[in-house]
Chains A and B, each alone.
Chain A
Amino acid sequence: MAPINRSFSRRRFLGSSAMAITAGALGMPFVRTARAQAATFKAGVITSLSGENILGGNLTKQGYDLWADVINAKGGVEVAGDRFKVEMFYGDDQSSPATGADAAERLIVQNGVDVLFGPYTSGSTIAVQPICQKYQVPMISGSAESPNVWKAKPEFNFGIIPAVDTTSGLSLGVLAKLSNPAAKTVAVVSVNEPFSKETGEGFRDGAKAAGLELATYELVPPEGDLTPVISKIAALDPDIVAVGGHEEVLINVVKTSKSLNYRPKALIMHYGITNPAFAQALGADADGTTGVVVWLPTVSYKDDLFGTAKDFAQMAQKKLGGEPDYTAAACAASGLVLGDALKRLGKKPALTQEDRVALKDAIAETDIQTFYGPIKFEKDGPHYHDNIQPVPVLVQIQGGKTVAVGPKEAAAADYIYPLPAWK
């Protein structure tokens, strides 16, 4: 019985294979025709849709999608008098850089995307860059903030958010100007891990430019206890304490400082304090903490598609159910860069490989004003292809809310300095 069975299934297998091949041969031209009828630009979003960075990943996706929704509602991207809709494809990096590279390759090879929108994390962005180079597909990154992304001189990748070393460095200058009596010394603490260390180095290097004396620069392991470091800083008593780290460390710095009854005149952190979880976890103790953002709904920028920053924030609030942060704004602005470059390029979909290279060159020449701020990419230097135009805005937690306090033209409230002693 067994041999008969086997020959029967082989015959069935051959039969179904032949049918599949025939169907494929007949079907493929039909599919191509269908595609040609509704020509669209295909954009791939590669970001963290699962794993530990899912929240940030969703922020980026929502930002990119907002642009696609708005532009498609207008009929699509305008190219040589016609409008072409944008079709979005998604790749999940599962919060891991290696998976991100695989997902990017899948989007390019299987979905045939013309352009990519970059991941939430810098680590994934760095991993995806060689894939963009290999297949010559330009990528616009609305989230990556590590300077290492741009030190690699990525030919096909462009960043909307200024690298963290520029923002943290500049922010100390803004803080020094706001402080009264003028701050003179700063102590920098950063966690010994890529993003946090780069933030700390930005603070360290920015101190000199801000006219501040560096009291100490402390690099702590992520597993370390902060009491020895805070005690040491308390003994040095600098005016400003600047911290490079993620929310958990930022929360622990505030808690440890309070438990040692030490409060500097200003406590500045970078990323993390705008996350509502920070103020939620610390309650009243979060008040007075300073942070740095590159965009707020109150900035005075505007463009033709989204309108003013406030208009964008209202629209995002309606669609997403919460106030957008600068990552979502920068991701939506990435779409504006793409739309502008496609318009200047003047090529209709689908783009060939030569077209994609030309698109990359067109993106490199971007010089536009958007609701997010000015966008123009560096052509050389350590921030190659990064948009370092936006000026960092200093925010402070006051009464549990994040408010802009500097520079003066962006301020919505007075800067509280020096901070009062712990209650």
Chain B
Amino acid sequence: MDLFLQTLLNGLLIGGVIATFTVAFQLAFGVLHVIDFAVGGWVVLGGYLGYYITAWLGLDGFLAIPLAFVLFGALGYLIGPVLYNVRNSRTARPELMALALSFGLFTLLRGGMLTAWGFNTRNVTTALSGESLAIGPVTVPLIRVVAAVFAAAIAGGLFLFLYRTRYGLAIRATAENRHNAALMGVNIGRLSANVYGLYAGITAMAGVLMGAIYSVNPEVGLRYTLFAFFVAVLAGLGSVEGALVAALLLGVVEAFVSTYVGASYSLLAIFTTLFLVLLISPRGILRRGL
């Protein structure tokens, strides 16, 4: 029973961790209609920022979180219009061109980081690294709780922003029909840049947490891209709230299969879940995807 409870907690927290970098990914897809392969690159960039904040300045890794938002949000704001223009260009299959562009961006980030910072694995230390709380028979890793709370806060914040502000209304309108939104006076180009900046900033913030929970090297980005994509498909592409539910589901599936069946079957179980959900509900787990 103890192991069961621990496994359940592990699963929920893994879900929380995955959700940190998938919520904003969904927003970017909803507005830009691009599956951004570079998501793993933004995560790793955030992780490195966390590492340098702790290694060079001797500060707590958590302080890198707001800095990651400002720095990589600004970078994303500059890259956003390029992606938007490619996605809406008059070339044949602009969606594939945009996909190729984001893949190229990912490769560039990965190669650049490999050249600049080498391939050694780095760690982000925070006040809560390695700390845990014992609640009865269950051990709660505090840094993962921070990640789960962060994911929930980001999802909640985005929800309020999208449904309670005029700019959120403009974003939703653009996601639904960009031509109509443009006719209503929404500056689609600037909005896309803002959304991509917001997404890059949030994802890099999640990256600091990933560096604190796991570790960071230029090669791990692909893993985050894959998981973001799994969750996005399971959630229904573009569904922000679905991303939370899907991440938690995948986390719990992974934890139970790893503990009770064998860790080598965990990916198989994740793919089977993905397959079954797509079969039953192609628009994602909450049927709210595009």
Say whether A224 contacts B215, CB under 8 Å.
no
A422: chain B residues at CB < 8 Å are: 130
**B179 CB, nearest partner CB in chain A, Å:** 40
B226: chain A residues at CB < 8 Å are: 223
* Interchain CB contact (< 8 A) of B215 among A225, A227, A248: A248
Q: Which residue on A lies nearest to B121, using beta carbons?
A: A248
**A31 CB, nearest partner CB in chain B, Å:** 38
**B56 contacts partner chain A, Cβ-Cβ < 8 Å:** no
Taken residue by residue from 226 to 253, chain A's Cβ proximity to chain B (1 for < 8 Å, 0 otherwise) reads as 0111011001000000000001100110
Most B C-beta atoms less than 10 A away, residue of A52, A258, A281: A281
**A319 CB, nearest partner CB in chain B, Å:** 22
**A420 contacts partner chain B, Cβ-Cβ < 8 Å:** no
Chain A binding surface, main DSSP class: helix
* Interchain CB contact (< 8 A) of B125 among A54, A228, A229, A283: A283
**B130 CB, nearest partner CB in chain A, Å:** 4
**B272 contacts partner chain A, Cβ-Cβ < 8 Å:** no
Query: Which positions 253-279 of chain A face chain B at CB distance < 8 Å?
Result: 255, 258-262, 275, 277-278
Query: Which positions 88-127 of chain B face chain A at CB distance < 8 Å?
Result: 114, 118-123, 125
**B273 contacts partner chain A, Cβ-Cβ < 8 Å:** no
A280: chain B residues at CB < 8 Å are: 120
**B263 contacts partner chain A, Cβ-Cβ < 8 Å:** yes
Say whether A55 contacts B119, CB under 8 Å.
yes
Query: Which positions 183-217 of chain B face chain A at CB distance < 8 Å?
Result: 213-215, 217
A218: chain B residues at CB < 8 Å are: 262-264
Say whether A223 contacts B227, CB under 8 Å.
yes
Chain B: residues with Cβ within 8 Å of the partner, total of 47
**A192 contacts partner chain B, Cβ-Cβ < 8 Å:** yes
Chain B binding surface, main DSSP class: helix
- The stretch of B70-78, B139-147, B167-175, B278-286 in contact with A is B139-147
Q: Which residue on B lies nearest to A251, using beta carbons?
A: B215
**B125 CB, nearest partner CB in chain A, Å:** 7
Say whether B119 contacts A261, CB under 8 Å.
no
**A345 contacts partner chain B, Cβ-Cβ < 8 Å:** no
How big is the A interface, by class?
A: 35 or more
A248: chain B residues at CB < 8 Å are: 121, 215, 217, 219-220
**A221 contacts partner chain B, Cβ-Cβ < 8 Å:** yes
Say whether B141 contacts A232, CB under 8 Å.
no
B254: chain A residues at CB < 8 Å are: 224-225, 228
- The stretch of B1-9, B30-38, B148-156 in contact with A is B1-9
Say whether A232 contacts B125, CB under 8 Å.
no
With contact pairs A223-B227, A260-B132 given, residues A277 and B120 touching in the complex (Cβ less than 8 Å): yes
**A27 CB, nearest partner CB in chain B, Å:** 41
4 residue pairs, one from A and one from B, having the closest CB atoms: A228-B258, A259-B141, A277-B120, A258-B130
A225: chain B residues at CB < 8 Å are: 10, 14, 17, 251, 254-255, 258
With contact pairs A221-B267, A259-B132, A260-B139 given, residues A52 and B114 touching in the complex (Cβ less than 8 Å): yes
**B259 CB, nearest partner CB in chain A, Å:** 5
**A285 contacts partner chain B, Cβ-Cβ < 8 Å:** yes
* Alpha-carbon distance between A286 and B264 when the two chains are bound, in angstroms: 27
**B266 contacts partner chain A, Cβ-Cβ < 8 Å:** yes
**A88 CB, nearest partner CB in chain B, Å:** 26
**B13 contacts partner chain A, Cβ-Cβ < 8 Å:** yes
**A229 CB, nearest partner CB in chain B, Å:** 5
* 16 CB < 8 A contacts A-B: A55-B118, A55-B119, A224-B254, A224-B263, A225-B10, A227-B14, A227-B144, A227-B255, A228-B255, A228-B256, A229-B263, A232-B258, A259-B143, A262-B139, A275-B120, A278-B121
Q: Which residue on A lies nearest to B144, using beta carbons?
A: A259
A54: chain B residues at CB < 8 Å are: 119
For the complex with contacts A220-B266, A261-B139, 11 further pairs of A-B residues with Cβ separation under 8 Å are A52-B219, A220-B264, A223-B227, A227-B255, A231-B6, A231-B10, A231-B259, A235-B6, A248-B220, A259-B130, A278-B121
* Alpha-carbon distance between A55 and B117 when the two chains are bound, in angstroms: 13
B141: chain A residues at CB < 8 Å are: 227, 259-260
**B223 contacts partner chain A, Cβ-Cβ < 8 Å:** yes
Q: Which residue on B lies nearest to A221, using beta carbons?
A: B267
